[in-house]
Amino acid sequence: MAVYTEVSDEELRVFVAGYGIGEVLSFKGIAEGVENSNYFLATEAGTFILTLYEKRVSEGDLPFFLGLMAHLSARGVACPLPVRDRAGRELGRLAGRPAALITFLDGLAVRRPSAGHCRAVGGVLARLHQAASDFPLTRPNALSLPGWAPLLAAAGPGADQVAPGLGERCRVELATLARDWPSDLPAGVIHADLFTDNVFFIGPALSGVIDFYFACNDFFAYDLAICLNAWCFEHDGSFNVTKGRAMIAGYEAERALAPQEIEALPILARGAALRFLLTRLVDWLNVPPGALVKPKDPLEYDRKLGFHRRVASAADYGWEPR
């Protein structure tokens, strides 16, 4: 989440008047994230998140994202819900952007996840995969293997300005992934961005999942690989196999991994690391002037790739035969 587009008081007043949520009490931008413009909005009816969808998000994808949240919520996955306006619409326009109001989810993101947190995330990820099995809409993953070479090209010589040799390391990695990427794994709707700031806890209990704006159709095990990257590395760059074991066990308590998914986990983890390295790299090199946004360090994922290249099997991530 971030703020790229400013909203005037008058624009906000007119927009909110279209909903039955009373008068605005407070309005504040959210600096975290990189994709859309987001604000905390408090009104007489409660607290909401107001999201303005920026140019990188296709307006045609918004029914998928908003519909998925409603679908998952109806099947017991704790997540925000889009608020309908007086005319029954989930999507409006504000400051020249598509915009939506989303219900506020209680809880806090964890900065230093424990093995217990990781187990809970594995469990909710599997439940999300199962709950979305009958979701009627589909969305291809534009940030899977075919999309990575264009991202590296977009970074251009800037990659080596961020770190010497980074561009060549990415090119070699792309060639390896193109050769070894699986083609036939169990698939369906995935979250695709379940980082620590997108999962909330109240005490030790997971209270909900947010930010579905990368959700798409892809391999379930790829979603798990994204989470292993996001949750199970320590700040010194080491992989915590205890956390990995807990996450995988939490996932398999809800949905057993197929043998081909287990075999593919190392290459999927490498691909997930490269995906976030490249998108972070492009964002790092292209922050709009004056934007209230904190770009994330792409080199964190360069270091994680170094670990993944040394992995021999899923056991190195903590997988154990059941």
**Closest by CA position to 174, among listed 144, 195, 215:** 144
* Mean pLDDT rounded to a whole number for the chain: 94
pTM assigned to the model:
0.92
Task: Please check whether residue 29 is in contact with residue 39, taking contact to mean a CB–CB distance below 8 angstroms.
Answer: yes
* Mean per-residue pLDDT, 230-238: 96
Map out the domains of the chain with their CATH numbers. 9-103 (3.30.200.20), 115-317 (3.90.1200.10)
Distances (CA, A) of 52 to 23, 41, 213: 20, 13, 12
Query: What is the band of 56 on the pLDDT scale with cuts at 50, 70, 90?
Result: confident
The tens digit of pLDDT for each residue in 63-91 reads 999 999 999 999 999 999 999 999 999 99
DSSP string computed for 132-169: GGG-----B-TTSHHHHHHHHHHHTTHHHHHSTTHHHH
Q: In this predicted model, what pLDDT tens digit does every residue of 269-301 receive, in sequence order?
A: 999 999 999 999 999 998 766 655 667 899 999
Secondary structure percentages of the chain, helix, strand, coil, to 5: 45, 15, 40
pLDDT of 1 reads 41
Residue 2, pLDDT > 80, answer no
